[in-house]
Homo-oligomer: A and B are copies of this chain.
């Protein structure tokens, strides 16, 4: 933690308050400091670099282009790349252990598996080297008084409560944001929290005896089973972090698996190839929490020049498109560009930020829910995989006119709402095209080529 604060030059540089020192809060603090401001960051948890505690939310993250750009903007992408594992493809495991691969993009494109805790530690280390930022841990936000611009902070170790005022408050305190909680009590605040009927549970595929990966390392593994699925992302130590996405209730659900024997029998039946790699399955299944899957939407995101929400605090989404962190990081990129455009006219910056960003995070929330169905069900369908191959061929033939939706979201910086609209138009074209196509080779048949050319001409 830095105690030496660079004195601010009176006119431009201001003292800013960031509530929440998670991924988005840490990155935001770096951006704000680079604009010359002094930043105080308050984080509820203890310093996770000192605690050695396992993160409650250990789900692995998939960094993609939007996230990388945001990290590059403060010059820390290289440091993060050291602890990231590229995944070039999805590998689907069917019930008999047969594998099918689907590349995520072009040859050199990948999403990157990183550990949430590891990435957060890296960011905190970088923040600490920034003299304009002060980190305060163990600070639980008990109350935000928007009228008097006052925070009530409880130190969770000493039990001491302090009251602090703020000029400009950035709420990066996550899906259950205390800052948003205060805004929810103001007039005409739109808000929704929607839960899926599914929960998730973290499990582990262990490393081999020599620390080797026992599944293909450079892939995101999926066991799609229609109404549920398991996925696995590689860790640096040779293990895979697995997540079971599973209904809370029903014939195959968390409530139907009550004993270690039932869990083992169920995995033997539906995840047979993974089971031998999961020696601690039963213990983990009953010791690890079952976590819920929520989508949060709200509006407005800001109050005058006083408060703004970023990341999960304003737009928490379900994890199925791997865009939650990337969207939060992109918030930082966009806020940065608005600071360049407007300078420290915070009222203008916050207003533009919410107006430009809200339609895009709404679109991303819809895409994320949609992708759950794709991952747990459609990726097991040969016709779906054929369609993806055909789309890839169209994209190669008409690179200026066609980018698959997944690539627009993951490997481009196109606003999410545009990507969604564009993806829907492309899907309609595929619905007209696919009845003509039975195999990959059919793509080269003259009548198919003719139809594709006609569709491209009318776009």
Chain A, 289-337, CB within 8 A of any chain B CB: 292, 297
Which B residue sits closest to A297, measured CB to CB?
B192
Judge if A266 is at the interface, Cβ distance under 8 Å.
no
Q: Say yes or no for A188: interface residue by CB 8 A criterion.
A: yes
Q: Would you call A191 an interface residue if the criterion is a C-beta within 8 Å of the partner chain's C-beta atoms?
A: yes
> Does A398 reach chain B (CB closer than 8 Å)?
no
Give chain A interface residues in 131-178, CB to chain B under 8 Å: none
Instruction: Give bound CA distance, A248 to B187, whole Å.
Output: 12
Q: Are B189 and A193 in contact (CB under 8 A)?
A: yes
> Please, which residues of chain B bring their CB within 8 A of the CB of A192?
190-194, 297
A286 on the interface (CB 8 Å rule)?
Answer: no
| Per-residue contact bits, chain A 177-202, to B (CB 8 Å; 1 contact, 0 not) | 00000000001111111110000000
Q: Which residue of B lies closest to A196 (CB)?
A: B188
Contacts of A193 in B (CB 8 A): 189-192
Give the contacting residue for A292; candidates B188, B191, B195; CB below 8 A.
B188
Q: Mark A220-263, 1 if CB is under 8 A from B, else 0.
A: 00000000000000000000000000001000000000000000
**Bound CA–CA A297/B297 (angstroms):** 14
List residues of A (260-299) whose CB comes within 8 Å of B's CBs: 292, 297
A362 CB to nearest B CB, Å: 13
**Nearest CB in chain B to that of A192: its residue:** B192
Taking CB atoms, residues of chain B closer than 8 Å to A292 are 187-188
Residue of B nearest to A294 (CB): B188
Interface string of A195-221 (1 = CB under 8 A from B): 100000000000000000000000000
Number of interface residues of A (CB under 8 A): 12
Please give the distance in Å from A355's CB to the nearest CB on chain B. 13
Give the distance to chain B from A99, nearest Cβ to Cβ, in Å.
35
List CB contacts (< 8 Å) of A387-405 with chain B: none
Closest to A190 in B: B194
Bound Cα distance A353, B187 (Å)? 31
Q: How far is the CA of A194 from the CA of B192 in the complex (A)?
A: 8
Q: How far is the CB of A242 from chain B (nearest CB, A)?
A: 23
| Residue from the list B187, B190, B195, B248 in contact with A190, Cβ < 8 A | B195
Q: Which residue of A188, A189, A297 has the most chain B CB atoms within 10 A of its CB atom? A: A188
CB neighbours (8 Å) of A248 from chain B are 188
Whole-angstrom distance between the Cβ of A16 and the nearest chain B Cβ: 29
Smallest CB separation, A37 vs chain B (Å)? 31
Task: For residue A112, give the distance in angstroms from its CB to the closest CB of chain B.
Answer: 31
A297 to B189, CA, bound (A): 14
A100 CA to B63 CA, complexed, in Å: 61
| Complex contacts, A189 vs chain B, CB 8 Å | 193, 195
State in angstroms the CA–CA spacing of A189 and B195 once bound together.
7
A297 to B194, CA, bound (A): 10
* Residues of chain B contacted by A195 (CB below 8 angstroms): 188-190
The minimal Cβ–Cβ distance linking A413 to chain B, given in whole angstroms, is 30
Interface centre among A189, A190, A292 (most CB of B within 10 A): A190
Residues of B within 8 A of A190 (CB): 192-195
Name the CB-closest residue of B to A292.
B188
Closest beta carbon of chain B to A28's beta carbon, Å? 27
Which residue of chain B has its CB nearest to the CB of A187? B292
CA distance A190 to B191 in the complex (A): 11
A44 CA to B315 CA, complexed, in Å: 35
The complex places the Cα of A195 from the Cα of B189 at a distance, in Å, of: 7
7 CB < 8 A contacts A-B: A188-B195, A189-B193, A190-B193, A190-B194, A191-B191, A191-B192, A191-B193
Known pairs A190-B193, A191-B193, A192-B297; list 14 more (Cβ under 8 Å): A187-B292, A188-B195, A188-B248, A188-B292, A189-B193, A189-B195, A190-B192, A190-B194, A190-B195, A191-B191, A191-B192, A192-B192, A192-B193, A192-B194
8 cross-chain pairs, A with B, having the tightest CB-CB distances, nearest first? A192-B192, A188-B195, A190-B194, A188-B292, A191-B193, A190-B195, A187-B292, A191-B192
